[in-house]
Amino acid sequence: MFSFLLAVVLAAGAAGADDGGAWVGTLDLHDELPSRGRLGGVSVDARGFIYVSDFGRTVWRISPEGAVEVLDSSLRGSSGNAVDGAGNLYQASFRDNRIVRIDPDGKLEDYVSSGLDGPVGITTDGAGNLYVCNCSGNYIAKVTTDRRVERFAESPDFDCPNGITFDPSGYFVVASFNTSYLVRISPDGEAETWLEVPEGRNAHVAATEHGLFVTKIESNRIYLIDRAGVIAPFAGTGELGLEGGPALEATFSRPNGIAVSRDGRSLYVNNLEGPWRGSEPTNIIIRRIELSR
């Protein structure tokens, strides 16, 4: 049963699309983030450290000054991640169906090693539970604080659920990698197909006071769904590139993971410098979108 939000959809480049004065730049890192044509997740902790994975074996931690540290290089499909209130990183490992936890000192442990089916995006609630997108199984799992794995939500419109966020309205919002639809989930696990974001498949989603931001890995844009339900391009011309500047004039290259700074003033988005899904060496580039200047 479709239950779409009544929304005004502005086509790409249409009059009325507004970036609110947002500005796009590229983080200056001390070292490169090498990849093989793949992108994983992005998270930010309260200290301003950024966590980036490559959908390969690696997850990095980037300091506010740009120093790059490898936290782990033994994963198999390092995909989505999330940071809890205590500063612990939860990192999904897609191909071996597990989640590892890395504490602020860098100590790693297996957190969940069974009960998942292609884990990607992760979010947390105020009680410390995890909610995990299972791309291969097409469902959302809940991992309780005592590490029990439960099926939390299912929907016929999940098609590789990939990104998940907890919206301030009290609902979870899920983006599937193989569709343009967003699914909204109530706190008790009731799912409904909510709305469609233009320009092909969705990647990840992040919630701020401005609304929901959705990355579009094929069309090289970021969309905003504001609090009035208006859907519009927010950043990116649609051209493939890594040019900075005003958000609607900047270019992106396969934007995938997206995270919000704890002060709500910045978005961090991973991009790929080089061919997507190839076998050639590529680099992950982190773009910062300043929501207010």
Q: Residue 154's pLDDT is what?
A: 97
Q: How many angstroms separate the CA atoms of 274 and 251, rounded?
A: 14
Sign of the Cα pseudo-torsion (82, 134, 256, 9, in order): negative
Please tell me which residue, 7 or 263, carries the higher pLDDT value. Answer: 263
pLDDT in tens, 175-191: 999 999 999 999 999 99
Nearest by Cα to 290 from 265, 260, 259, 253: 265
Chain-centre distance of CA 114, in angstroms?
23
pLDDT at 51 over 70: yes
Q: What average pLDDT score do residues 22-48 get?
A: 95
Give the residue carrying structure tokens 């199984």. 137
Helix, strand, coil tally for the chain in percent (to 5)? 0, 45, 55
> What pLDDT was estimated at residue 16?
47
Q: What is the pLDDT of residue 219?
A: 97
Q: What are phi and psi of 247, to 5 degrees?
A: -55, -45
Look at residue 17 in the predicted model and tell me its pLDDT.
62
Mean pLDDT of the chain: 92
Spell out the domains of the chain, with CATH numbers in brackets.
23-290 (2.120.10.30)
Contact (Cβ atoms closer than 8 angstroms) between residue 41 and residue 123: no
CB atoms within 10 A of CB 81: 25
Indicate the DSSP class of residue 252.
Answer: B
Q: Tell me how far apart the alpha carbons of residues 133 and 160 are, in angstroms, rounded to a whole number.
A: 8
pTM of the shown model:
0.93
The pLDDT value recorded for residue 293 is: 52
Mean pLDDT calculated for residue range 12-39: 81
Q: What is the pLDDT of residue 11?
A: 36
Supply 273's token pair: 């410098």
Largest CA distance in the chain: 51
Model confidence pLDDT, tens digit, residues 145-171: 999 999 999 999 999 999 999 998 899
pLDDT score recorded for residue 18 = 72
pLDDT reported for residue 4: 31
Bridge-based pairing of strands 34-35 and 282-290 is antiparallel
Give residue 279's pLDDT.
77
Q: What is the pLDDT of residues 64-90, one digit of tens each?
A: 999 999 999 999 999 999 999 999 999
Residue 8 has pLDDT above 60, yes or no: no
